[in-house]
Structure 1
């Protein structure tokens, strides 16, 4: 049985409270879905704490934990399993292992560095392996890092101070476990150039796969030898957080595939050791919270929101029964909808003044969310009159004579220059030579006292007038893409020595670059002080709308980019990560963003709703991490063609009763209409096979999804139809008794929601002897006594086996239609197969392949005949089904190729 470990985070330090946990009742951990159709609820882990000493009463001023316990105190539950491999635990910033510099580590030529890690955190730079000291004096050799976008970086220096760096052309795709081997090589003289290559592998022994393309640069290079120590984890001279997770092994080689000069392998290190010597003779010392551990598996991490004291009638026994819950519980409590992406982004930027203009219908002024910024007084503006761009809610429409006026706060940040930016919609440009104003601002104490942006059908114009009304700045250009849709406009004015410079730029929202710009000739004079917004709109602007007007220091970072279109095109993991960073929520995503379904624009909703929406579009799992108080997102593509994380033999010990397959219609959906939010629809209907609408009736589903483009609809509808009409028995619950089968413990502990498990040796009357399942959730029960069970909620894994080009099993398209031309006995070794479409290949290289014929799995070893029917040489009863076959029986591939979404 495992040793349970329960810890509370008190004053930022994880404190072991295992001894105070009552074990008279089982510890029960629930994660994932409770059944196939439900949403993923927050994880749960009830605990009962012994409070006879008043330790866990938050109001007990005399208690040792007074002031330390409160709402949402972090808690984690782990099991220690004897005999498991050791690893270097790096739980937080400042954790590392290092070995002093020595001559063997002073590599100046080709470099080969490898590390096997389990990544448990994201969103920041992570030092992996480095020989690098960035303190004064600089002593820089080389460093391998994992960026916040999971791009691998190799940095090095030729002289000890100047930094060279190269990045992988693709991001690292983390597996669900987070464990991966990473590698970088530097060829300092690759035919007169130098080349960096990045690699990944499932483990330190390989096989290594190139991560993207080699990065080759002109000229040879070298590496500064230096005297810095070699570090794993958080390099103390850097401001990066460092790797948060586990290091299993690392290796540094002098030369690509060359001499090993450092080789820490933590699987061989005694747990608790403060130092050790590796196989290459390097002595390593741990720092910070780093520790060598063995066999510790996180089973639950969450928060305790309440501490209800309980006493028995005698008053002698006191407990605190707590309900630890996953992070999703707190995030869903009383949450307000998040603002539009533009308001969130610009409002958090360097803006000195900002008016979103998302005010409600009937408003007479434009509110500013920035403290100390007065509203703009508006007349003739119809607020909330029409939809804004994707990154905004409804914005006002101007009418003839409408005005917008108000002061700009005085700020020293604008002394050297300012930029005005806004979004606007102009259906068509005004008639020639009218030049109505799009925007005007006033200044004082400088050469220009009035800046104006005007437009007509032929020109966009920026002017600057002095106090006497003279035009000292007057520049224009043809307004390409300045109307006909939602645009961004930016006017930048700055002091450059004795001159004032002005640049006007604009572009269509959704484009990558400004489509038009005007650079006015510099004029000699002082910039002055920006004073106010003061514009009157003319009717010749038609149905113009505007909003999200901001004033920032000149050259400020772009706060509008991609926020203006609501970050449309995001993949689920990208949106989840960005939202969680913005809201201060820890989140970890695995997999590759490029393999996920693209999302439509992010619109105002609660944080949880936005996160769930992203997961729903992609079809992945949004749950909580088992080791960290953090969210975990596993995208749908990681369920494709998985290797089973656990194989269970029905005939052996470990699979607990009842194991009951179910043929029901709970998940059946054979008529799917998918609608894109604010877009079109597509329908997919099953018209053939055993679950066709004309055989079992219509089971409709009509989801509305926030997809990126209408072109996705047909594929999404087809994929959902594929999932909803997979004809296989369900095993709603599979229970594993780990107390009875301790050999299953490592696999069971590694199995999480979204993983594939395999059942073998099933009774013939349950169907095929093997069943592949996807874990959708589980309940884990530990104790009291010799009790350790995990009951997995499962769905069929068959529909997640998708086509792989040139794969002998997954790369074959199914027949257009084939049947047995004649019946056969149960032991016949040839079958006559008639085809209604293309004939079967007769090439020997295309065989063997497996067919499904009336439930029997048959292996075809050869096919003969140039016309239908053809003769197949076969091996019968591969799945244990022994039966005679009738003429006309349907013939299909056992594993037909299915295109992934």
Structure 2
């Protein structure tokens, strides 16, 4: 391991090129990731190193450089060290796979057992194939294991053509996990049964995912000739997985004979073919790699400054690279409104958002072939109350709008017209709200509205009425923002039409009928708004060649009510050309926080807004270029990722300096819903309360505005933020590990990420007794030839240890010693000053023993007697090494009381 095999690579053109030989060995590579302090958010990752440049190789404009024209601003760079084992690195494309040819042993028609151990983004919205024999185009479908959007799916085919499946929602998984699917083709009850499992590794133990998936009749599996593939590339609509595969198995029979045993762990780096223990010969695709590299940084080099000494004999380039947040943070352009972003994806023939600035004289069209909407009586940029839109125009009574609609390809037999609008009050007489022309039997359509009545009229080319239908309407179509959705379809000589009103964010309703003739196509928008219409606002007028409302659904209210993870998922799909985003869901059975409307803002701001509202951590991963998010629930009750012992050399070198400060102290918290109400939470009593010293610490207030979906959320979130802000424990701004002195910790460190849990046992006697328990928020890493050090910025993990139903105990409202005790007394008299009595060991023996704290001493309570206060506690003393006397009135509480999670 030492000297450290650190590898630095630049992406030169389309190839990762090893430049390690040019990295100066005299100076360490330095990497910063995550937050620099407990109170800060994670910023861009940062890499610094120096390259020898005596031959001008790293001068981008030097024509003699072999990299001339191939390196420059934002050249990708990555840094890695060797890991404990090899794996198959997959890029998620059709050249990235491992394959073994079809064989009789793989043509399983009966019971089957598929297993894969991988490191992957399990909750990606992209459908990813993990393992299988599956060729959709060739109708050679046999069996396939895949994931999509947090679902594990087993597909099989009986004849190679049609597909059957069994699926369940994945639980919260670590990034490296094993998945398993079994199929009992004949369960003895006239049907089949599928079962899904997960485990920390393929060594188990296997935990069921959901219940049995059974149906009738019995089934079988097609014995196709497709090859068996890790990351199958021939499944229609399914992408080969991106990530790492460590092992995979196919078994004939449930728990039966292993007929394929893919195992990359022992293969040397660069291996392209080998034979497994079941006799299968595997070949790696051209874009897949067998490697043991563990990546410590992925980023971009923003500049290439050349430096040299006065002699010119020593020339170097000090490289500084950063993660994606640096580049995204440079831009100030806000993403368009959700309606403006979504509607063009549905292929409208014409679309005018009407989000133009005040002073505009016509409405711009984002479709190149469509001319602007000509208007009179419009004042643009006046009303921004529609959540899914930027500011829309106010329209005078009698105003007009006209716009030409290009012809669609082919002969249309369906189309739809949409518009959002709002008025101050319902007009007292019939007033035109929308009118357009077509090439069909109805030459001109017209929507009229007044108090209580809407009329839909259709005129032929001679201005004779073809459609004239009135319908009673409620006052709701004049309250707040509404949307017209008018559509027609033609079947034979019959045209079906319908008008629906959508109260945006609320109910819908409408009317429709038929007539004989042709639908034609929409040729022109031509509307003169009624003179009796008061306070009209309009926008997002579109003509779509489908009878579909999907272009507006949810986007019109800015996706209000969307969960934080769903917003991240949607933005990741919409902005896939800009950013690769992954996430970790800590509890798939519970939604992340519900967000308010997505208003126009920069991509980075919108991503951070979701993270801030949910309360998780957004950061840049080390093993790929992009962003990652771990939700709030993933921070609860997590296992220890790095266990350190202060007494072991190199594990906790100095400095280890606890800080008792007020950096994160907040005892008066107000949370406001953006566009809604507020809630306040205050700590009125206790050592960190708002009371002045010595009863408290005085007021430390905080006021935050968050994107929340409803007014029930601020109170909950204010309480949780108060809980975090008044956690009474020292923080450790720096915990250092010297891996060159403690190499046995390397594998644990390589498996860690931002937000993971670190514990230090056996702290020195001058620190509080007990284990130091922290979350890592960020770190600085130094990689030298003979040095590998990690300086971690940490915060207490205690407030994130929350109660689990039927496992956790709630603390009392108040208890104290009724009489003083010596340092050795094992029988204590405890008075309850508030709330119910403690449970007795006779009534609840299974709840004993448990641990309590008194004056800094932890004791184990083995029994409690007494039906009134004071009660008698039988205790074991000095559990944490502290043994002391305690006076009457000393407070007593559970060592680890149940905390209610947000």
Is TM-score (shorter-chain normalized) higher than 0.5? yes
Q: Distance in 2 between matches of 1:354 and 1:161?
A: 41
Over 3 Å counting, the alpha-carbon distance change for 1:355 and 1:47 in structure 2 is same
Deviates more, 1:515-524 or 1:618-627: 515-524
| 1:88 positional shift | 1.9
1:516 matched to 2:514: no
Q: How far is 1:236 from its partner?
A: 4.5
Distance in 2, Cα, partners of 1:696 & 1:597: 31
Quote how far apart the aligned CAs of 1:193 are. Answer: 3.8
Aligned position for 1:881: 882
For residues 701 and 638 of structure 2, the distance between their equivalents in structure 1, rounded to whole angstroms, comes to 29
Question: Where does 1:306-455 land on structure 2 (aligned, <5 Å)?
Answer: 306-412=303-409, 415-426=412-423, 429-431=426-428, 434-444=429-439, 446-455=440-449
Residue 552 in structure 1 maps to residue 544 in structure 2: yes
**Secondary structure in 2 matching 1:267:** coil
Paired residues of 1:36 and 1:794 also in contact (CA < 8 A): yes
Structure 1 length-normalised TM: 0.94
1:580 aligns with 2:572: yes
Verify the 8 A CA contact 2:413 2:520 in the aligned structure 1.
no
Indicate whether 1:564 and 2:556 are aligned.
yes
- C-alpha change, 1:256 and 1:423, in structure 2 (3 Å) is farther
652-661 vs 261-270, greater mean Cα deviation: 261-270
- What is the Cα-based RMSD across aligned positions, in Å? 2.1
Equivalents in 1 of 2:813, 2:240: separation in Å? 55
Distance 1:366 1:26, change over 3 A: same
CA–CA distance in structure 2, aligned partners of residues 720 and 486 of structure 1:
35
Q: Which 10-residue stretch deviates more, 207-216 or 17-26?
A: 207-216
**Distance in 2 separating the partners of 1:560 and 1:212:** 35
- On the 8 A contact 1:152/1:172 being kept in 2, the answer is no
Give me the whole-angstrom Cα distance separating, in 2, the residues matched to 1:887 and 1:840: 18
Deviates further, 582-591 or 592-601: 592-601
Aligned counterparts of 1:40 and 1:602: Cα–Cα separation in 2: 22
Q: 2:468 matched to 1:474?
A: yes
What is the Cα deviation at residue 707 of structure 1?
1.3
Is the CA contact (8 Å cut-off) linking 1:414 and 1:554 kept in structure 2? no
Contact 1:479 1:516 in 2 (8 A): no
Aligned residue for 1:200, secondary structure, equals strand
Preserved CA contact (<8 Å) 2:641 2:748: yes
Equivalent of residue 62 in structure 2, options 60, 63, 71 = 60
Counterpart mapping for 1:127-276 below 5 A = 127-136=129-138, 138-147=139-148, 149-168=149-168, 170-171=169-170, 173-175=172-174, 178-190=175-187, 191-236=189-234, 238=236, 240-276=238-274
Residue 725 of structure 1 corresponds to 726
Kept in 2: contact 1:346–1:560 (CA 8 A): yes
Does the 8 Å contact 1:405/1:534 carry over to 2?
Answer: yes
Partner of residue 641, structure 2 = 645
Q: Which residue of 2 aligns with 1:767?
A: 768
Q: Using the alignment, how far apart are the partners of 1:214 and 1:544 within structure 2?
A: 57
Check the 8 A contact 2:583/2:630 in 1, yes or no. yes
Question: How far did residue 671 of structure 1 move?
Answer: 0.5
SS in 2 for 1:766: coil
Q: Distance in 2 between matches of 1:384 and 1:825?
A: 76
Q: Which 10-residue stretch deviates more, 886-895 or 615-624?
A: 615-624
Task: Give the Cα separation in 2 of the matches to 1:6 and 1:343.
Answer: 43
What CA distance in whole angstroms lies between the structure 2 residues aligned with 1:46 and 1:232?
A: 37
Q: Is the 8 A contact 1:86 1:292 kept in 2?
A: yes
Q: 1:426 Cα shift?
A: 4.5
Question: Quick one: distance in 1 between partners of 2:411 and 2:603?
Answer: 34
Q: Match for residue 711 of structure 2?
A: 710
Retained in 1: the 8 A contact 2:557–2:597? yes
Work out the CA distance in 2 between the residues paired with 1:790 and 1:338. Answer: 38
* 1:359 Cα offset (Å): 2.1
The worse-fitting range, judged by mean Cα deviation, of 155-164 and 120-129 is 120-129
The 2-side partners of 1:58 and 1:716 are apart by: 51
Q: Distance in 1 between matches of 2:424 and 2:781?
A: 60
Aligned residue-pair number:
883
Map 1:465-864 onto structure 2 (within 5 A): 465-479=459-473, 482-511=477-506, 515-524=508-517, 526-555=518-547, 558-583=550-575, 584=577, 585-591=579-585, 592=587, 594-654=590-650, 655-694=652-691, 695-783=696-784, 785-807=785-807, 811-836=808-833, 837-842=835-840, 843-864=844-865
SS in 2 for 1:297: strand
Poorly superposed stretches of 4+, deviation over 6 Å: none
Deviation at 1:172, TM superposition (A): 5.2
Whether the 8 Å CA contact 2:154–2:181 is kept in 1: the answer is: yes
Is this contact kept in 2: 1:440–1:452, CA < 8 A?
yes
Cα shift at 1:605: 1.0
Q: Quick check: 1:166–1:196 contact (8 Å CA) kept in 2?
A: yes
| Distance of 1:670 and 1:60 partners within structure 2 | 59
Q: Is the contact made by 1:186 and 1:195 (CA closer than 8 Å) also made in structure 2?
A: yes
SS of residue paired to 1:85: strand
CA contact (8 A) 1:354 1:369 kept: yes
> Given that residues 764 and 880 in structure 1 are in contact (C-alpha distance below 8 angstroms), is that contact kept between their aligned partners in structure 2?
no
1:715-737, CA deviations, whole angstroms, 9 ceiling, x for partnerless residues? 10000000000000111100101
For the 8 Å contact 1:130–1:235, the answer to whether it is kept is no
Q: 1:490 to 1:797 in 2, by over 3 A?
A: same
Cα distance, 1:491 vs. partner?
1.2
Superposed CA offset, 1:308-365 (max 9, x none)? 2223222233222221111100111133111111111113431121111122234332
* Equivalent-residue separation in structure 2 for 1:438 and 1:209 (angstroms): 60
CA drift of 1:216 comes to 3.9
Cα distance in 1, alignment partners of residues 60 and 742 from structure 2? 42
Q: Give the TM-score taking structure 2 as reference length.
A: 0.94
Shift of 1:218: 4.3
1:237 deviation in Å? 5.8
Deviations 1:737-782 (A, max 9, x none): 1111111111112222100000111123311231100101100011
Deviation of 1:212 (Å): 4.0
Counterpart secondary structure, 2:640: coil
User: CA contact under 8 A between 1:414 and 1:552: conserved in structure 2?
Assistant: no
- The worse-fitting range, judged by mean Cα deviation, of 374-383 and 211-220 is 211-220
Find the aligned partners of 2:454 and 2:279 in 1 and give their Cα distance. 71
SS in 2 for 1:339: coil
Q: Secondary structure of the residue that 1:521 maps to in structure 2?
A: strand
Q: Distance between the aligned counterparts of 1:410 and 1:204, measured in 2? A: 58
Distance 1:764 1:313, change over 3 A: same
How far apart are 1:92 and its partner, in Å?
A: 4.3
Within 2, Cα distance between the matches of 1:795 and 1:97? Answer: 42
Cα distance per residue 1:446-490 (max 9 Å; x no partner): 322101223344444432210111121234544465342323221
SS at match of 2:750: helix
1:85 lines up with 2:78 in the alignment: no
Contact 2:740 2:788 in 1 (8 A): yes
Deviations 1:366-410 (A, max 9, x none): 222222322222223343333332111222233321222222233
Distance 1:174 1:570, change over 3 A: farther
TM-fit CA distance, 1:29: 0.2
Q: Distance in 2 between matches of 1:5 and 1:557?
A: 53
